[in-house]
Structure 1
Amino acid sequence: MTDASMPNESGVTRKISGSNRNLDLFRVRQIPDSVESRPVPMSVTEPISLNKPLSKSFYFWLMAPAILVLAFISIYPFFWMIYMSLHDVDIGHVEWNNFANFIKLPSDTRFLMGWVLLAQYSAMCLTLQIIIGVFLALALNGTRLEKVLVTTLLMPMMMAPLVAGMVWYFLYNGTFGWYHWLLQSLGILGPKSILASSNTAMIGLVLVDVWQWTPLITLITLAGLKRVPQDQLEANMVDGASPFRNFISVTMPNLYPVLLIAIMLRFMDNFRFIDSILVLTGGGPGNATKILPVYLFEVSFKFFKLGRGAAIALILLIVTIILGKLLVRVFDRQQPSKV
């Protein structure tokens, strides 16, 4: 029987004899982990700093002035509004009224009608703005003149609501208004202005809001279109999907969270902005356009019933917060769950 010597992994020669020789010669050599090449992390030493790390209290004192200003202009008026809603407030006279301001509201027909008109106004504005805004965003997305056209579309949004109301007031004027002449020439309007009839006054207000704030929906939708995955669109097109089917199955699911944000912003604005309404109709003719914020303005600053106005404002604020929370909950449900 022949013996053979073979160095082992540590370099020491060992003898291999007989039947085990062939088996050992063709056995896969086991390489220890220490021999394998792998990236060795380099220890990075932080540079020596001569400044001591700042404490959390330092940042708090930096933010303290801004916190105090925000508290003064928001928190204090909020609690003062609650206080006034529970009292009869007059100039130089405040008297507890045992929740009378809230008790009388359900029997106030103008208060209830204000809610109905506000719902109609908000629904019409949001519907038209979403439809037109998404259409304009799809038409502008990827075009050569996209930046120029978007800048042009944003001009109405940069205008103050009061100024926008004045511009449309002259356009709607029954004597020299260009829009009134156009609608009358088409047979849509009679001799009366669009704002002078209770049947068309609300439509006139909706058109003003749509003209001014549709660019905001367009801008938000354009930002959402930039994040639509192009590979999914191309895959659907290869499978034979039509552009409309592509829009429904791929584009809309990606736009859904963005549109919810736009709806929430415009929803809250419709509950707050009354500048153009006061300029155009002031709540008239009659009470045809007296939405709840306009009625709140009249009660508080026209008839100086500040306690009653505070009660209406508090209820309006609570309803706005509740509806905003519902929209946020719907938005959260559409977000992908984190693993």
Structure 2
Amino acid sequence: MSNSSTTIDRQKGFAGGAELFRVRQIPDSVESKPVSHVAADPPSVNPAASKAYYFWLMMPAIIVLAFISIYPFFWMIYMSLHDVDIGKVEWNNFENFTKLASDTRFLMGWWLLIQYSVMCLTLQLIIGVFLAVALNGSRWEKVLVTTLLMPMMVAPLVAGMVWYFLYNGTFGWYHWLFQSLGILGAKSILASADTAMLGLVLVDVWQWTPLITLITLAGLKRVPQDQLEANMVDGASPLRNFVSVTLPNLYPVLLIAIMLRFMDNFRFIDSILVLTGGGPGNATKILPVYLFEVSFKFFKLGRGAAIALILLIVTIILGMLLVRIFDRQQPKKA
């Protein structure tokens, strides 16, 4: 009797131990779809700020921007519709705009501005892309990029003064170099109507090509290396690789560079005023220079406002076209 009871107690003990050390069964649904428990955000001491609060924070900046940009814009429109003189403003029935159609200097200013912008952009793109490709991955890339950026840090007025002395027909080093090579005669490059525009273009190319180089160099860093390596495995030459892979990836970056530079060419006249002032004759009197003369030399503020408004509208339209071209090159979202 005792043996049987002992056996029964042992079996109960084994059963209890097995129950104690049994592995807990977890359903597959729990393992495959764990439930995340996110702790509630702690209560904030300060209440959430209203939209009016942020509006009042931005109000000083809005007032300053309105004062320096919006107010002059509408005042320019107002002046373009009137004859503005000291102490007198008279409505002129859109004559400031209608007379521009027969103004030969206004039309010639547009033609010279197009020539100047096209020559500057073409040379800057060619030289800038070449320098960026040459510097990309170079051992001295950082040092050379810093050195190339120095002309861009110079004020346009100072750059014009420096090149004015370099072009000087008496002691200018560049004048001596061009004369030694047989490119120039006794006249300075700025004294001849045939070469003055080229002299201005060289100054702009010297100062702003580093910007194109910097933007292009940033674009080269994002060119997919796997595409380049795949083309090289297929036997493509470096030139073919550049045309078929690198250049399409640089296309959006170059569009941004073109937009920035063409807008600058439409408004920068500092170096031109220092070097030629629009001369010799009217050979370099691009439209912004003509606008400066009409407004601040002859004080025809109404006529100058009309020219400035037309120039602004054309610049905005061309900028919108470039932005639309840029948007078309971006990959569409699915």
Same fold, judged at TM 0.5 (above): yes
Q: Which amino acid aligns with 1:168?
A: W
The Cα of 1:35 is off from its aligned counterpart by 5.4
Which position in structure 2 is the counterpart of 1:207? 202
SS of residue in 2 equivalent to 1:137:
helix
Shift in alpha-carbon separation, 1:58–1:35, aligned structure 2, 3 A? closer
Q: Which amino acid aligns with 2:279?
A: G
Q: Which amino acid aligns with 1:215?
A: P
Q: Which amino acid aligns with 2:73?
A: F
Which position in structure 1 is the counterpart of 2:332? 337
Which position in structure 1 is the counterpart of 2:265? 270
Quote the sequence identity (%): 87
2:222 corresponds, among 215, 222, 227, to 227
The alignment yields a C-alpha RMSD, in angstroms, of: 1.1
Which position in structure 2 is the counterpart of 1:101? 96
Which position in structure 2 is the counterpart of 1:151? 146
1:299 correspondence with 2:297: no
- The separation in 2 between residues aligned to 1:133 and 1:271, in whole angstroms, is 20
- The separation in 1 between residues aligned to 2:194 and 2:202, in whole angstroms, is 14
Please list, as runs of the form range in 1=range in 2, the aligned pairs for 1:55-134 lying within 5 A after superposition. 55-134=50-129
The Cα of 1:37 is off from its aligned counterpart by 3.8
The Cα of 1:48 is off from its aligned counterpart by 2.4
Q: Which amino acid aligns with 2:92?
A: N
- The separation in 1 between residues aligned to 2:97 and 2:176, in whole angstroms, is 46
- The separation in 2 between residues aligned to 1:100 and 1:292, in whole angstroms, is 19
- The separation in 1 between residues aligned to 2:100 and 2:309, in whole angstroms, is 12
TM-score (norm 2): 0.91
User: For residues 219-241 of structure 1, what are the alpha-carbon distances to aligned partners after superposition, in whole Å with 9 as ceiling and x for unaligned?
Assistant: 00011011101111111111111
- The separation in 1 between residues aligned to 2:287 and 2:179, in whole angstroms, is 31
Aligned length: 309
- The separation in 2 between residues aligned to 1:302 and 1:219, in whole angstroms, is 38
Shift in alpha-carbon separation, 1:44–1:305, aligned structure 2, 3 A? same
Which runs of structure 1 show a deviation greater than 2 angstroms over 4 or more consecutive aligned residues? 31-40
The Cα of 1:32 is off from its aligned counterpart by 6.5
Any stretches of 5+ residues in structure 1 without a counterpart? 1-30
- The separation in 2 between residues aligned to 1:334 and 1:49, in whole angstroms, is 46
Which position in structure 1 is the counterpart of 2:314? 319
User: For residues 59-106 of structure 1, what are the alpha-carbon distances to aligned partners after superposition, in whole Å with 9 as ceiling and x for unaligned?
Assistant: 111111001100000000000000000000011111111111001001
Q: Which amino acid aligns with 2:237?
A: S
- The separation in 1 between residues aligned to 2:39 and 2:199, in whole angstroms, is 67
- The separation in 1 between residues aligned to 2:146 and 2:119, in whole angstroms, is 26
